């Protein structure tokens, strides 16, 4: 089990901080303000929650800071980025039914989002190749 799941899974603030730092470096107050902004004011974590969390993340090598004047600017480390990716990635599908369910979900997403309609010629060609490969798999499974 990776660090995040073992130590931090019960703390949504940790995931939020790592996600924000993936976008750009921030000070503690910027993290507080950004969380308040993205939750439309429903959640404004206190400094008493944010700064100890940052300290713990830094202790575990997931973030680092640089002093800029009197402020600390926090950065996501490579280790932090890896832990965040592990947390955000679902596990590998175990059965063909799991894979088909995921594919169906993406097909629905493409239809509803309209992304397929806006696709470049290169992307449409990739999509055709994927469909052809799936057709080959389907006919060989019989």
Indicate the pLDDT class of residue 101, thresholds 50, 70 and 90: confident
Q: How many CA atoms lie within 13 A of 62 on its CB side?
A: 27
- DSSP three-state, residue 116: coil
CATH assignment of 3-88?
Answer: 1.10.10.10
All structural domains of the chain with their residue ranges: 3-88, 96-140
Indicate the pLDDT class of residue 47, thresholds 50, 70 and 90: very high
| Percent share of the chain, pLDDT over 70 | 88
Predicted pLDDT of residue 98: 76
Chain segment 56-87, per-residue pLDDT in tens: 999 999 999 999 999 999 999 999 988 888 77
Determine contact, residues 93/102, Cβ cutoff 8 Å: yes
Question: Over 90: is that where the pLDDT of 7 sits?
Answer: no
The closest of 72, 71, 54 to 63, measured between CA atoms, is: 54
């Amino acid at each position: 089990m990776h660090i995040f799941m073992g130590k931090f899974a019960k703390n949504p603030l940790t995931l939020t901080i790592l996600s924000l730092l993936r976008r750009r470096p921030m000070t503690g107050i910027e993290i507080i303000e950004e969380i308040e902004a993205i939750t439309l004011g429903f959640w404004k974590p206190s400094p008493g929650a944010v700064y100890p969390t940052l300290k713990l993340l830094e202790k575990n090598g997931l973030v680092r800071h640089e002093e800029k004047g009197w402020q600390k600017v926090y950065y996501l480390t490579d280790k932090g980025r890896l832990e965040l990716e592990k947390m955000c990635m679902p596990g590998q599908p175990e059965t063909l039914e799991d894979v088909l369910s995921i594919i169906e979900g993406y097909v629905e997403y493409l239809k509803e989002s309209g992304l397929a309609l806006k696709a470049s010629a290169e992307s449409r060609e990739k999509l055709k190749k994927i469909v052809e490969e799936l057709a080959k798999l389907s006919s060989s499974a019989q």
